[in-house]
């Protein structure tokens, strides 16, 4: 998978590519949920990853809405794994990270284009 636009949380990959997103909390209790393609909301427990496969149709777009809430002035780092071309991958780990500070709840809307 590759990053299309860091600021708009846009990525692209091949049909059925695996997507893994890691949520790392700092100085807050984890209150995280997500919705994939408008489906049911799922909680993300501390230490769990979000994992899914891209759609199998070229031209399709998968959407992930990630909701981050806080119990303190902490932050979350959200890492999309196995990504090439990320402007924030200074350690050359094929990871793309986004840090969001609290205490105000944050919604992140990711898009994944199937190429």
CA dihedral for 82, 44, 110, 76, sign (positive or negative) = negative
Is residue 89 scored above 90 in pLDDT? no
- Cα 97 to the chain's mean position, in Å? 9
**In the chain, how many domains are there?**
1
When pLDDT is averaged across residues 34-57 and rounded to a whole number, the result is 97
CATH number, domain containing residue 37: 2.60.40
Determine the structural domain holding residue 51 and report its residue range.
Answer: 2-114
Is residue 97 scored above 90 in pLDDT? yes
């Amino acid at each position: 998978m590759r990053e299309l636009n860091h600021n708009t949380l846009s990525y692209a990959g091949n049909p059925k590519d695996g997507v893994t997103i890691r949520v790392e909390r700092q100085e807050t209790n984890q209150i995280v949920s997500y919705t994939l393609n408008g489906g049911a909301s799922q909680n993300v427990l501390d230490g769990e990853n979000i994992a899914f496969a891209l759609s199998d149709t070229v031209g399709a777009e998968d959407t992930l809405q990630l909701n981050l809430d806080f119990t303190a002035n902490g932050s979350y780092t959200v890492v999309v794994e196995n990504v090439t071309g990320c402007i924030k991958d200074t350690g050359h780990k094929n990871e793309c990270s986004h840090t969001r500070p609290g205490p105000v709840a944050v919604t992140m809307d990711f898009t994944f284009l199937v190429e």
